[in-house]
Each structure stands twice: as structure tokens, then as C-alpha cells.
Chain A
Amino acid sequence: MAESKAMEVRKEEMLPEQSERTRETRCFIPRSDVYETADEIVVVMDIPGVEQDQIDISLEKNILTINAYCDPQGPDGYSLAFAEYEVGDYERSFRLSDQIDRDKIQAEYKNGVLRLILPKAAEARKRKIEVKVK
């Protein structure tokens, strides 16, 4: 069956950083797409299993951080017989290069995919400099 190479199965686990996590669950780096159009930057992220109200998005200076918390509890009364993937929290940060209009950031969550639309600030859009060829 046709299967793209990028559709890898294993999730990447976060490497330990300087600051420690207080929760005991595992933490994964969600697979993400980032693309840019003339007016906005769009971040698309796979965070399956997370409830909508368990997503934290913050933008500090130009660092965008997404935290998503997932309850690793399995179905009640069942024991895990066979495991190929693990469930845990997600965390990822991006450094944004362009000025973002903070008040107009939009987030959508559907079927385990988070989509962030970060509109560029008007002055950043204007900052394009034309080079004239003499």
C-alpha cells in the first residue's frame, strides 16, 4: 500500500532540558508543518488525544510555545496487552522571525490537529525593501 516515507510511526521524545518537568508523564515533540504566506505564518501540529481545553499557547517576545496535556489513562478495566505507541504531553517552541500581530492570532483545533494562524504585523509586512537596478 502506498505510504509516504514521512509518515513515520515512532514519536520523538523530548530530550531533557535545563528545566525539569513537574509532571511524570512522557513528553513528545509534535510533528509540525510551518508555512508562510504573504500575510501570515501558519503552524500545523499533530497532537492526537488532547482535549481542546488542555492546550496552552503562549508567545513571549518572539518565542511561540505550545504545550498540550494528555491524560495517558487507558480504557477503564482493561490492561495493555500490546503497545506500539505511547501517550503523553506535547511541547514545542518556535522562534518566529517576523513581527507577529499578537492580538490577531487564531487557533483552531480539530481531530487532533492544532492550526495556528499568526498574522504578520502591518509594519513587518511593509518592511520589504525594493532594490532598484540601475
Chain B
Amino acid sequence: MYRRYSPLSIWREMDRLQREMDRLFDEFAPRRLRTAPGFPAMNVWADEESVIVTAELPGLDSKDIQLDVLDGTLTLRGERKPDELPEGARFHRQERGYGKFARTLELPFKVDVDKVKATFKNGVLQVTLPRAAEDRPKKIAIKVA
């Protein structure tokens, strides 16, 4: 069908095309890196019964990290403190940031809160969140008639 475009609708059409292209790329490469909406960036690993959330938090101590799990959300809070500099120190370069941070991640299922495990090693936090038993899909055996 032939449609006439006013100049405005051409832009709308281009926006639509852009969205369509983004969607296509997402479908073909779902492992494409997303931009983290806050600090820290998180990776989520999944198998059938649990998810593992990892985050890089260099320079923090395990006691500086606060984790909260509520049903289907994981909240990570913490603070990275600046180095204590000796008197008279002069910076040549300062690239490492510091400050308070908090991020909440929505999980794909209800979590068994008592079985959540977290480790912190070499500045990498790893949280294992098992799926709650009542939330697991019921397996149905197929009988041969």
C-alpha cells in the first residue's frame, strides 16, 4: 500500500526502523554486553535451579558489602573508601573511583532465601541464589500409551 509521509512521520519511521534493528541485533546476539545502569556492573549466570550473580568490587572487604535478598530481588550495597594517603603525597594520576553504591537486580524467580550463598575472592563477588522449591516447574512424565 502506498503511504504518504509528512516530514514528521519520516522521523517517526526512522525511529521505528532503529528500534526494529536493535531488536533484531538483540535476538541474534543476546550475549552482547549491556551497559550497566549503575555500579557495579553485574553478570548473571543461570542453570535450571539457580542463578549466580557476579560483580567486580576491587578494593572492598567482604564486610564492606551488604547483600539483601527479598523474594525475587537482590540488593547490593557498599562503599569503596579512598586510600589513606601519607602526608605530602601528590597524585600523578587518579582513575580509581570511590563512593557509596547500591544496585537492585530483579531475579527471574523466587529465591530460597536460606540457601543463598556468597563468596568474595580477589575482588569478585559471587552470589548463588537457588530457586525456591515451590517455585520450581513441575516435571511431568510422559507415559507411553
**Chain A residues packing against B (C-beta within 8 Å):** 1-10, 31-38, 41-42, 44, 46-52, 74-75, 77-86, 111-113
Contacts and interface: CB of A to CB of B under 8 A. Distances in A.
Interface of B: 31-36, 38-47, 51-52, 54, 56-61, 80, 83, 85-86, 88-102, 120, 122-124, 126
29 contacts: A1-B101, A3-B100, A4-B97, A10-B35, A33-B83, A34-B91, A35-B91, A35-B94, A37-B90, A41-B92, A48-B122, A49-B123, A49-B124, A51-B122, A74-B45, A75-B126, A77-B47, A78-B47, A82-B42, A82-B44, A83-B33, A83-B34, A83-B44, A84-B33, A84-B36, A84-B42, A85-B41, A85-B42, A112-B57
Contacts, number: 153
Contact of B96 (A3, A6, A77): A6
Given A46-B123, A74-B54, A111-B61, 4 more contacts: A8-B97, A10-B35, A34-B91, A84-B35
A9 B34 contact: no
Given A7-B101, A84-B43, A112 B124 contact: yes
Given A35-B91, A37-B86, A49-B123, A79 B39 contact: no
Contact of B80 (A7, A49, A82): A7
A9 B36 contact: yes
